Amino acid sequence: MVANEGEGSRFNLVIAIALAATLLLVLMLPMAFAAGKDTAYSAYDQSQGAGQITDVRATLGNGEVGDITGLGYEMGNTISTPMLVNDWQNPHRTLLMVIAPEKPIGETEAQAIFEFVTEEGGKVIVASDNKNANVLAGKFGLTYYNDPLFDNDQVYEVVNEDGDIERHPTNVWGLHSFNKDISEMQEGELSTGCSDTALATRTIDSCRMPVMYRGPSGIQVGGLESDDPESNDYVERDVNVLAYASPGAFIDILGDGSEGNVENDAPGDIALSVRIDYPGITAMDKLRGTGSSNEYGELLVTGSIVFFADDEVFANQYWTLERAQEAGLDANCAGATCWQRDISGGTWSGNYEYVHTLIWDMMEFDNGDLAQSIATGRGNFHIVFDESRHVTGVASQPFIETISTIVLLTSDNFLKWLIILNLGLLLLVSIMVVPEKANWRHVFDLTRFRERPTKVNSSDYRQRVQKALFAKVRVFYDLTRDQMALKTPAEVQTMIGDPRLVELAYSTSRTYSPQELRELLIAIRKWGKK
């Protein structure tokens, strides 16, 4: 008995050590992967200052940046995965912002976002300068280059800290429309800059605005099989290139910055931004009525997705003019000849002006079927930042990974914290109360005589052997119990074939000694084998 108690204590110790080691690995491994990596392009982390997108969240939500007051959208974020977008409430009133995906967007996530736009009427903005967003872009017939764009024509100048002017072909500007393809705009529309009045009154269909890029890549615009009206998979959509790089721009594939090198891709139509709309999607929401008679019903909405060829379009450094001036930019490209040659009017005050108006144009504010009580309030529309694509802090990484896993189980806040609490309690109980494991070896114990099983009555031996025979025959002929029961004795005897075994099965007068039954068991075991 003393030996057993010692073995039980050692077993408890081993379990406790294993649990502690597992807990340590769960905490340390995520921290090790995140070590040495800085958080960037986060809407919630301000540690990197200009390299984050906290100003975007502030000006879209209820914050303030300088003299710019937030628009009042309902803000949120997802730290686990965008696979759950189609479970969100009112997807047609929700915008997902995927800015600078530092981790590649997978096939499952891309498919979920594709369905969010094309089936639920959701809105998405994707900003990347590499191939991490290519799986998602490919769903819409687009491809991101994985190398920087050089444009010696659409370039702006920066005044560095020493007061010197720097001009680098990766500092690119582009003139953007809001909802029209550049190639389809009239000359008068192409040369008209969006004035403050046009932005305030949302008369933006026939003007363009400058947007600053820093180290962009480019976007190739292709097609899909579903674009063919004669295809069985045809889906109506409107593809618009909102801005192009200059015709002389090229992708620096070789990394030598050589414009004349034929190996550096220069197709002449490299897109900086592309918008794709899917009209006529059915959604459920409050319908516009008279007075307070708004009722839920079906209405038609438009799913929209916009791709930018650079994540720094949204960076704090370029979001407002005040921040940009700190980095050496100004409203007129620091003296360089920029968009003034192509449009009349329309100075640059930060990328926020264009993006704010673009988001308004993507949302359902002008949907005549949507209840006015909803359409007139930005607080009824949601903007969600995808934080799952970013590297998080070392200390917060284990918590983020845990929450990411739990969110896959439920998106309810109460249930999420309930699961976390239960996991903690389970781990605590496992450490404190480890159950005794029964010893598998036979231990001679006088107190357990009564627990020994009773012996089988010798009169039951023959019945057991008969059951074994019938089971072997039934399985051999692939019969169910019901099918076997329907067989006549003559049929069963024919199926058995062996006279000795037939006698065992049906003779009522024959008696067998234990030795004879053992021999019959051997015969049953061999029966059916060649």
**275-307 confidence digits (pLDDT tens):** 999 999 999 999 887 555 568 889 999 999 999
Among 3-12, 161-170, 433-442, whose mean pLDDT is lowest? 433-442
Whether residues 71 and 170 fall in one domain? yes
Among 26-35, 92-101, 187-196, 263-272, whose mean pLDDT is lowest? 26-35
Q: Which conformational region is residue 106 in: left (phi greater than 0), alpha (psi within -120 to 50 degrees), or beta?
A: beta
Is 453 within a domain? Answer: no
Environment class of residue 485 by beta-carbon count within 10 Å: exposed (0-12), middle (13-18) or buried (19+)? exposed
Is 482 within a domain? Answer: yes
Is 132 within a domain? Answer: yes
| Distance between CA atoms of residues 6 and 9, nearest Å | 5
**Is the separation of the CB atoms in 95 and 43 below 8 Å?**
no
Structural domain ending residue among the three candidates 412, 447, 482: 447
Average per-residue pLDDT for the chain: 81
DSSP state of 97: E
Q: Which letter, b or e, does each residue of 368-402 get, where b requires 16 or more Cβ atoms within 10 Å of its Cβ?
A: ebbbeebbeebebbbbbbbbbbbbbbbebbbebbb
- For the chain, the C-alpha Rg in angstroms (whole number) is 36
* Res 55: pLDDT: 92
Residue showing tokens 């620096």: 252
**Is the separation of the CB atoms in 214 and 129 below 8 Å?**
no
Is 452 within a domain? Answer: no
**Is the separation of the CB atoms in 501 and 469 below 8 Å?**
yes
Q: What are the beta bridge partners of residue 367? A: none
| Distance between CA atoms of residues 329 and 322, nearest Å | 9
> 513 is in which domain, residue-wise?
458-526
Q: Is the pLDDT of residue 252 over 70?
A: yes
Whether residues 25 and 74 fall in one domain? no
Q: How many structural domains comprise the chain?
A: 3
pLDDT tens sequence across 49-62: 667 889 999 999 99
Whether residues 219 and 295 fall in one domain? yes
Whether residues 187 and 206 fall in one domain? yes
Interstrand relation of 74-78 and 382-386 (parallel, antiparallel or unpaired):
parallel
Is 114 within a domain? Answer: yes
Structural domain ending residue among the three candidates 352, 373, 390: 390
First to last CA, the chain: 53
Whether residues 64 and 155 fall in one domain? yes
Whether residues 314 and 372 fall in one domain? yes
Whether residues 518 and 377 fall in one domain? no
* Res 38: pLDDT: 59
Whether residues 119 and 210 fall in one domain? yes
Whether residues 356 and 425 fall in one domain? no
Whether residues 348 and 409 fall in one domain? no
Whether residues 381 and 487 fall in one domain? no
Structural domain ending residue among the three candidates 372, 390, 408: 390
Whether residues 442 and 330 fall in one domain? no
CA 462 to chain centre: 65
